[in-house]
Every structure is written in C-alpha cells, then in structure tokens.
Amino acid sequence: MTNPKTITKPETVCTRFSRLNLNPASVGDFIDWLCGMEPITSPIQARTRRDSIETLWGWNAPRQRIAKLLWQLVHDNLNDKFFHQNFSYGNPIRTHNTEAVLAPIQERMRWVLEGAFYRQSADRQIGQGNWGECWWLPEEQTNYVRKQLQDVAVNIVQQQSDYDEWLRFYLNALVSKDAKSIEIPCRDKDRTYVGVRNPLTSACVVNVLGHDGKEFHLRQCSRAYLEANGTGFEWGYGGGGPYLLAECLLTDALDGDFGFCDQQMIVEFRAEFVETNPRNEDFRISRLQILKWIQQRGVLDTWKERRSRVTIARRAVSSEVRGALNRLQHIKRAGGLQAQRFDLVPSTFEAALCLDLMQMLESSDYAMQCSRCKLPISHDGSLRSNHQRARAQRGQPVYHEECRLEQARVRKKLYWRRKTSSKEFRESEKQRARLNRT
Ligand SMILES: [Zn+2]
C-alpha cells in the first residue's frame, strides 16, 4: 500500500527549467518529462501523482501545452500541422538551436526566481508574510512578469466528450456481469443466419432472417454495445473472426445466453460449421441445426433448465439498460457531446513559465533556494520537502540532493587538506605507516 504522505507532485516547470542544461538532448528529456513520458528510474518518481487533467486533455492540459509551446519555439514553427507531423516522444528535438533560443529566457527566469528568493529572505526579518500580506517579487521582476502575463488569456477549452463511450462500457458491464445475456433482435423459433461477403471489399455482413422475411444484424454477444452488430465476422478458416461468428451464432440460437457455451464448445462448433464453409461462398445455417448440434452433445436440457434463471437476471438489469440506451439516443440526436474546461491559456513559452511561477507562488509549492548552486528547489509535498521548507524558513541552508552530496564531498576534501597541512598530523601519519610496514 502506498503511504499518501509519500505521494508527491512533480517539480514545478519554472524551477525545473531554470536548472535545465540547454543542449538538445536535455531539452528533449524535459519535453518528455512535461508530457509524463520520461522513463521511470526511481520509486519516488513512480509515486509521483499524475494529474487526471493531463491524462484526459492531451495538448490542452497545462503541462503538455507548455511542452508544445517549447517545441514550437525551438523549431521556430507555430504551425499546428507541422507540430503533429514532426513531434515524437522519446526523441522530440530536431534542431540544434535550443541553446541560442532558450538561454536568454532561462536567464530571465533565474533573475525572477532570485528576486523571489530575495523577497523571501527579506521577509524572514520583516514578518510581513506572517502578518497576512504577500509581496512576491521586487519592482523590476514584477513588471517583467506582469508583461508576460498579458500573453495569457482566460478561455474555455473544449474537446469531444468521452461520456458516450463510457456509457457503452457501462452497458456492456451491465449485461456481462450477472445475466451474461443479451436481448436478441428476432425470436422466431426457426430463424436462419445468413452471411454475405461484399465481392469488392470482401467484408462480411451476417444477418438473422425471420420466417416473415425480416432481417436483423447478428448481435455481438459479450461486446454487444462496444462493437457494431452484423460485422467483424469471418468464415472459411480457423481464426478470430470465425471464432467470433461461432460464439455469436451460438448465443443467438440460445436466445441471447452467452454464458452457456465454454471456449471448447465454441472452438468445436467453429471447426464443424464455420471453418468448413468456403470463404468465397455465402454462409448459411438455421437455428434448428445449431440446437440439434447442442442436443447431440447432450447439453440441450441443461440449457433449458437455466433459461428462466437467465431471463430473470437479464430482466433485473433491463430498465438500467434501457435508460442508458435512451441516453445514447439523446446524445446521438443532439449531434454528440463536448467536454469543456475553464483555463488560463498562455500563447508563448515564456508566458507559460510566468503562469507556472504565478501558480507556484499562489499555492504553498513555493521554491526554496539551494545554498550550493543558488538555483531553486520546488516544494513537492514530500516529508523531506516539508522538512526542507521548515529549515529554509529558519534561514538554514537547503540543498538539491545532488548538491548535498557534492557539498559533503567538498567538506571532506577541505578537512583532509587542513589535516595534511599540519606538521603533527604528517608526523603521526608517517609513524603509523612505519608501524604498518614492520
Ligand atoms: Zn543545487
């Protein structure tokens, strides 16, 4: 089980960018990271919370939108089509221009963050923040950020809704859970199944033919609400399309009960009737033939005994099924649904960085300054991060993990240099070496 306290947020974009090496490979990794596509290398990373907006909204989600703006900036092309034709995960950068384009932006971002750190440290003396007011940035940095934020617009973003797809999955779950049974389109006892191949496209359509001549598409049994009825079937060999046809024929012949036949039975039925029908000829079988085959296997009475139970189970969910189907009908008549979100939409990469900074400062995810490299460490919600924040608020030094290790290495080196410059120390070391030799 995951401890909720150890689930952390990804680093804020403005601080990560200000620490970024600007060569094409690192910028490419940064873009993958923004898209949530970087390879997982540590358990901490695996526990990082993935925002559901990022999963559902693609290039309209905040971080992926920044990735796209950055990609477009370094490739010097704002065309949407160009982006979609040339962008790929894993190796997104196709230019050597990254350093030249991004260095000035990175310098400005570092300058803004330094301004924020300056305000933080000044406020430790003054205590304005504790009193309840905020003063984030010095005058000049404020003017710069204010100007960048003019390239951010409040907007409604929208995309095609996933709700109707979810309804179809819901319908499918309803009929597959308890009843394992669907309503069939034609209940004539002596109905016939007819498969016809289109000679041009060679696609097959299989229909149920009633004795009054009425035709209906053969239903997809266990995926009745996910796949189109009447299609996806095949005959004349022993593959997946023929298996599906065998399964759906048995289901319809057994009045919609798709929980009765096991895999072995379906495979045997396919071998006997579906594989043997030549591929270039139409397919035809009657329901009575199918029932006779089931009777020969000695299980027809078992099926008859369970019929009433299956019918009751199917009826138990039938009003829910009808309700969901009605909703799907409404959606179809309405011409489909859209999903919308209110959003702050930056039009440049630099504006996106300032927007990210704004959101960081407004929340408690503010950055601390690393005492070694002077670059920001963003607060990620972990226990370690809370501990660091408390230290920073007391004015004590905090470090990036890699900077902490480097700091320890340097301290050790200094210690030994001081030691070796002392005469007594050198003498005692010589003594020790001599003793070791003898
Ligand atoms: Zn550092």
Quick check: 381 and 9 in contact, CB under 8 A? yes
Between the CA of 28 and the centroid of ligand 1 the distance, in Å, is: 22
Contact present, 242 and 257 (Cβ < 8 Å): no
Q: Where are the beta strands (DSSP E) in 178-317?
A: 192-197, 204-209, 215-217, 283-286
* 378 CA → ligand 1 middle, Å: 11
- Consecutive H or E run containing 74: helix 62-74
Cα(400) to ligand 1 centroid in Å equals 4
Q: Cα separation of 209 and 38, whole Å?
A: 54
User: How far is ligand 1, taken at its centre, from the CA of residue 229, in Å?
Assistant: 61
List the shell of residues around ion ligand 1, using CB closer than 5 Å.
370, 372-373, 400, 403
DSSP letters spanning 3-39: -GGG--PPPPHHHHHHT---SHHHHHHHHHHHTT-SP
- The alpha carbon of 258 and the centre of ligand 1 are apart by a number of angstroms equal to 62
Look up residue 49 and give its two tokens.
Answer: 């919370």
Is 349 within 8 Å of 66 (Cβ atoms)?
yes
Ligand 1 center–CA 16 separation, angstroms: 11
In tens digits, what is the pLDDT along the chain, a chain of 438 residues?
A: 345 455 677 889 999 999 999 999 999 999 999 998 877 666 656 666 667 888 889 999 999 999 999 999 999 999 999 999 999 998 889 889 899 999 999 999 999 999 999 998 898 889 998 898 999 999 999 999 999 999 999 999 999 999 999 999 999 999 988 789 999 999 999 999 999 998 888 889 999 999 899 999 999 988 889 888 999 999 999 999 999 999 999 999 999 999 999 999 999 999 999 999 999 999 999 999 999 999 999 999 999 999 999 999 999 999 999 999 999 999 999 999 999 999 999 999 999 999 999 999 988 777 888 988 888 888 887 888 888 888 988 888 999 888 888 888 888 888 888 887 888 878 887 888 888 775
In angstroms, the CA 139 to CA 143 distance is 6
In sequence order, what are the residues at sequence separation of 6 or more whose Cβ sits closer than 8 angstroms to the Cβ of residue 221?
182, 247, 248, 251, 252, 258
Cα(364)–Cα(69) distance, integer angstroms = 26
The tokens of 133 are what? 């007011």
Distance 356 CA to ligand 1 centre (A): 20
**Which pair of structure tokens corresponds to residue 27?**
């910028």
Distance 377 CA to ligand 1 centre (A): 7
CA of 406 to the centre of ligand 1 (A): 9
